[in-house]
Amino acid sequence: MIFKLKSIRDVLALNSRLKIIQPFLRQDCVLCNAASGAHMLCPACYAGLPRIVNACPRCAAPSDGQVCGACLTHPPAFDRTFAALDYTFPVDKLIQTLKYRHQLALAHLLGELMTVAVRAQPRPDSILPMPLHPARLRERGFNQAHEIAKIIAKKLCLVLVPAIATRAVNTPPQAALPLDARRENVKGAFACNSDIQDRHIALVDDVMTSGATLNELTKTLKQAGAREISIWVVARATAHR
């Protein structure tokens, strides 16, 4: 069957239809094409995912399990970070395919991986996906962090609160900037006009590199009264600081 897709709306509609029928179809692993039954990854590829161990509990950078020197010297605004996977092959390709090729079924896969990974983490009052600026959202057609967070919220019975914060400034993509310019790029980029007094909020995103964007959003939320902020990311780019 050949689908002629004319717009982002057509892509989203097709993804929705495929999501409905997918559980009833025999699947092949999205990484190696081996039979994977009702799952998107075969057992071998699932077991081989680059999971993070011995990370800094504050920023999830490589460490011996203790708070790293960078966090001791310049403590981030957020209280803890949990990253399920290392941002290396094949995780980087899965995330890039989701974001730039509109394969929304991968959001379900990444959301399920995150759900398993964060079950033992301190339970927040609610979870907030990293906001996209409206112009970026129109361009992409969806917010990958929101799609992943929806799966986590549903499976862990957590309250999803995407509207409590907005991205008020359409900043250039962080990936295009050197690390030392990223903090300045996102300064003042977020707004929060909601009542979040004394709440513990988990921020959900796909990738954490320098942490500058998540740190800036954390500052905004804490200024609005949040008591505690946990960072939940699918992947941590451990080769960058």
The CATH number assigned to the domain holding 191 equals 3.40.50
Residue 93 lies in a domain: yes
**Maximal C-alpha separation, the chain:** 57
Amino acid in position 4: K
Q: Is 53 helix (H, G, I), strand (E, B) or coil?
A: coil
Task: Average the pLDDT over 185-210 and give the result.
Answer: 93
Which range (20-24, 31-35, 157-161, 174-178) has the least confidence?
20-24
Q: Bridge-partner residues for 225, per DSSP?
A: none
Clarify whether residues 9 and 84 are in a common domain. Answer: no
Query: ∠204-52-160 over CA atoms, to 5°?
Result: 15
Clarify whether residues 152 and 64 are in a common domain. Answer: yes
Residue 241 lies in a domain: no
What global pTM score does this model have? Answer: 0.85
Residue 101 lies in a domain: yes
Residue 16 has pLDDT above 90, yes or no: no
CB 208 within 8 A of CB 95: no
CB 234 within 8 A of CB 148: yes
Task: Average the pLDDT over 185-208 and give the result.
Answer: 93
Clarify whether residues 77 and 172 are in a common domain. Answer: yes
Clarify whether residues 42 and 55 are in a common domain. Answer: no
Task: Average the pLDDT over 70-79 and give the result.
Answer: 96
How many domains are there within the chain? 2
Task: Average the pLDDT over 32-43 and give the result.
Answer: 91
Q: Which of 176, 162, 171 is nearest to 205 (CA)?
A: 162
DSSP tag of 117: H
In which region does residue 141 sit, left (phi positive, over 0), alpha (psi from -120 to 50) or beta (all else)?
A: left
**What residues make up the domain containing 37?**
1-48
